[in-house]
Structure 1
Amino acid sequence: MKRVEGKVAIVTGGASGIGAATCRVLALEGAQVVVADISERRGPSVAESIRADGGAAHFMRLDAGDAASWRAVVDATVERFGGLDILVNCAYSGKAGAVDTMPDETWGQAFRVTTDGVFYGMKTAGAQMRAGGAIVNIASVAAYRGSTHNVAYAAAKSAVISATRSAAMRFAEMPHKIRVNAVAPGMIQTPALEKTFEALARQGRSVDSTKAAMVRQIPLGHVGAPEDIARAVLFLASDEARYITGTELVVDGGFLARW
């Protein structure tokens, strides 16, 4: 028996990185997956590749920071597949910048997509999810330590963790008992991480030396893969985690444990 057989899932930010890996893993494990993303170029190709591998996936355009866009995607998902069981909020915006140099619009965009997107997703999907459903929000280890040159990303991801806990308590009070948890990735090999290395390197170091210095902070000694996060999401979304809600699963190679 596949771990999410017969379930319907929406994955935001599904066109690349952690989101795309999560779409593939959920589909491999039996879910009908909606690849939800603002990119109408990359999103359909992810869904097509999943179908080519024998999975069930369908692309829907979603602007995660827009409430009306959320309503359209959730309504279309329920109409097309007959219900909704899993929501994974991967979409985010997080351009690099320090508190003294970041443009106001960059700060605002980070919260619009990253935090507003989680709120709209939980509110809209939660209203139509079947009993026993699961929401998994993607946070970050940056939420726990801060990030000198990534202030908006760190702050927005901190808000995601707080919203996850609050929503978990509220949904636990309701008859359909939706579980809400978060996964906090460390350094994961994605295009976004490479951009972070490049931004930090502009502070006076080469990209390679910056990457090497950051990797040395990981006790396991290497950067993670998107599939490492996707597998953690799968666990929290599955019935194996039926007694887990309101918490974060850190997947970081031991980064936060280092003093």
Structure 2
Amino acid sequence: MQNRREPIFNLPATIVVIGVVLTAIHSVTFVVSPQTWLWTVLTFGFLPARYDPAFAYYGQLPGGLAADAWTFVSYAFLHGSWMHLGINVAWMVAFGTPVLRRFGTVRFLVLSGVAAVAGAALHLATHWGEAVPMIGASAAISGQMGAAVRFAFQRHVLFGIPDDNDERWKQPAVPLVEAFRDIRVLAFVVIWFAVNLAFGATPMIPGQDAPIAWQAHIGGFLVGLLLFGIFDPARPPKQPQGTGADGGERGH
């Protein structure tokens, strides 16, 4: 019997394509002029001042009314540095991969988009009128993290198991309250919030040219954590009639 050789990196095609697209977009920043890059950031980055009538250039930014809508998502495709991009892609590979395998491509992309919108909305609420653009996929990937924590610590699903069987990612998820009874889930969420709050207290980190938009991370994470049941296609196994069992119920 011939042994089947497994690839070292067995990533879903969607994750690879997103990584390639983000890398290609960032690579363009090295061939365009500074003026073109500024136009790109003002057109596709998320700028809270765009929505403030008191802003000196209110109504004059490129993209007009259409950009008022699309920048809630388009900012996630731009990055400020290779470190910024590399960190986001690495987190997407780690947390986005199991979520994609569970949700499928369409649900995964919708979740990521909603998380990006929620991240931009929370950033807008906490930075109203600010003329510093926000870029990066962190809010969308934070949404993937929030979704992953809802199921990835369960038995037979735990991160790190060298198993290529996608079925292990599709085990019914326990309700949110029950999930928080798992010390690993609770510890992950607490540490995640602590790290992001620490970013909020740090004006700048090495390799970054702008402060971390940690509020956007929280907005995205809450979407994945709290709205998981809306996107989750997995259903609990049917219980035999008359047993009165309610185990395995999917949580929202």
By the TM > 0.5 criterion, same fold? no
Larger strand proportion, structure 1 or 2? 1
Q: Which has the higher contact order (CA 8 A, sep 6+)?
A: 2
Provide the TM-score with structure 1 as the length reference: 0.30
- Which structure dedicates a bigger proportion of its chain to helix? 2
TM-score, normalization by structure 2 = 0.30
